């Protein structure tokens, strides 16, 4: 009913493009940004110490010698308050809150990631295919998600380096949470500068119990020291996207050693199908698995029953289980053999097969 407020909000979202990135803005609010993080950028990723969990061990991440592509979603709620004036009545205290739609945010995230993956797989298959390793066992491309709480503690991390426009649009912006998703080409680094640059292989890792080498931190790009007090800089933890996909099968959370459990709904909503919306999600209590019907090229097909949404009617359905599921006591021997083979693959490399599923 406030025509002035309607006029202020009647803005079209616009794309801002430059040579190494793009962003979507609504007034002076950034809705989405995807860019290459340059060495002279205001986003100080390369000045921070990141750790990534690989094979159960938190390893330092070398950001100095790698290219970084960042996908950034500042998931914000907007609070619009009236400006008090001399003519304003004292009882006017109402304000307008505009909350983000998580489904739309997840859809935009999934679309952006899908475009990047398809581009890499179609035009750079050697580089873009998942789980391709170097001779040292490092991923060619490592997709990581930083802990948003770790990043929010960095007061000097200026993620928005663009001038504000239409500053009169909002009187207050309340930021509920930040979701920063960086796609970075990373690998586990060695602690000694000599072994970092050396091409020879002694056959014994510098971190193993049988190694006679004492690693030195001096001059290493991944170990950063605070020049003011001589202490190490704080650690910022992150997770691989593949780890988040695997977590979506069970707990639906990943754990930061500093801040505890972080729900996937906050950092990787597309891994738990939040981009599809409630209308396409079937609650576990509304579907029941029956006997095995057969095997496909990938996965097992079971007979099942599903309760139709909003009614008490139950219909027969076919359920395709993409992860190994016990075929049941009356299954054929060939099905049991196939199940054991699939289960063995999952046990050996759960990240890879969870992503394939």
Mean pLDDT for the stretch of residues 70-98: 73
Q: Is 302 helix (H, G, I), strand (E, B) or coil?
A: strand
Asked if the structure places residue 214 within a domain, the reply is no
User: 3-state class of 105 per DSSP?
Assistant: helix
| CB-based burial label for 39 (10 Å; 0-12, 13-18, 19+) | exposed
Confidence band for 329, pLDDT divided at 50, 70 and 90? confident
259 and 303 in a common domain:
no
Output the pLDDT for position 263: 94
Give the pLDDT score at 190. Answer: 36
Q: Is 317 helix (H, G, I), strand (E, B) or coil?
A: strand
pLDDT tens-digit readout, 113-137? 999 999 998 998 888 888 887 777 7
Distance CA 38, CA 122 (A): 25
Confirm whether pTM is higher than 0.75: no
Domain ranges, residue 200: 3-205+238-269
pLDDT value, residue 343: 92
256 and 122 housed in the same domain: yes
Q: Which of 297, 298, 314 is nearest to 306 (CA)?
A: 314
Q: Does residue 253 lie in a domain region?
A: yes
Contact in structure between 205 and 211 (CB atoms under 8 Å): yes
Tokens for 336?
A: 């049991």
Residues 242 and 342 in one domain: no
- 143 and 59 in a common domain: yes
Q: Where are the alpha helices (DSSP H) in 57-204?
A: 102-123, 125-128, 148-152, 193-197
Same domain, 87 and 185: yes
Would you list which residues are annotated within the binding site? 320
My answer on whether 68 and 185 are in the same domain is yes
| Total domains, the chain | 2
pLDDT, averaged across the chain: 76
- As beta bridge partners, residue 239 has 145
Residue ranges at the known binding site for ATP? 320
CB contact burial 70-81 (16+ within 10 A = b; e otherwise): bbbbbbbebebe
Q: Which of 50-59, 63-72, 222-231, 310-319 has the lowest mean pLDDT?
A: 222-231
240 DSSP β-pair partners: 144
Among candidate residues 297, 307, 310, 306, the one with its CA nearest the CA of residue 338? 297
* 299 and 259 share one domain: no
Q: Are residues 37 and 104 in the same domain?
A: yes
- pLDDT tens, residue by residue, 240-276: 999 999 999 888 999 999 999 999 999 999 999 999 9
Asked if residue 191 belongs to a domain, the reply is yes
Q: Is residue 93 part of a domain?
A: yes
User: Are 243 and 297 in a shared domain?
Assistant: no
pLDDT in tens, 215-237: 444 444 444 545 455 556 789 99
CATH code of 310's domain: 3.30.200
């Amino acid at each position: 009913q406030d025509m002035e407020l309607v006029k202020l909000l009647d803005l079209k979202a616009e794309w801002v493009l430059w040579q190494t990135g793009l962003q979507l803005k609504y007034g002076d609010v950034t809705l989405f940004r995807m860019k290459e993080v340059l060495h002279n950028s205001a986003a100080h990723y390369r000045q921070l110490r990141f750790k990534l969990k690989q094979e159960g061990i938190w390893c330092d991440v070398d950001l100095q010698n790698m290219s970084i592509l960042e996908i950034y979603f500042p998931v914000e709620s907007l609070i619009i308050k009236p400006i008090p004036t001399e003519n304003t009545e004292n009882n006017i205290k109402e304000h307008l809150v505009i909350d983000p739609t998580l489904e739309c945010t997840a859809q935009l995230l999934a679309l952006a990631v899908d475009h990047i993956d398809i581009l890499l797989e179609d035009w750079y298959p050697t580089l873009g295919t998942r789980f391709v390793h170097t001779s040292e066992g490092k991923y060619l491309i490592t997709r990581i998600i930083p802990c948003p709480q770790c990043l929010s503690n960095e007061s000097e991390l200026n993620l928005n380096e663009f001038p504000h426009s239409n500053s009169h649009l909002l009187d207050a912006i309340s930021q509920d949470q930040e979701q920063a998703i960086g796609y970075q080409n990373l690998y586990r680094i060695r602690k000694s500068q000599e072994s970092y640059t050396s091409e020879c292989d002694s056959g014994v890792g510098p971190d193993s119990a049988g190694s006679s080498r004492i690693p030195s931190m001096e001059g290493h790009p991944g170990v950063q020291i605070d020049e003011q007090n001589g202490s190490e800089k704080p650690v910022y933890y992150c997770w691989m996207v593949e780890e988040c996909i695997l977590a979506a099968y069970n707990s639906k959370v990943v754990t930061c050693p500093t801040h505890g459990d972080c729900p996937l709904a906050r950092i990787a909503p597309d891994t738990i199908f939040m981009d599809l919306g409630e209308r396409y999600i079937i609650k576990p209590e509304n579907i029941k698995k029956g006997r095995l019907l057969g095997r496909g090229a990938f996965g097992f097909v079971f007979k099942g029953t599903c309760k139709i949404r909003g009614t008490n009617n139950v219909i027969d359905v076919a359920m395709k289980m993409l992860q190994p599921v016990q075929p049941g006591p009356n299954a054929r021997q060939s099905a049991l053999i196939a199940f054991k083979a699939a289960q063995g693959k999952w046990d050996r490399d759960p990240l890879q097969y969870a992503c394939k599923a």
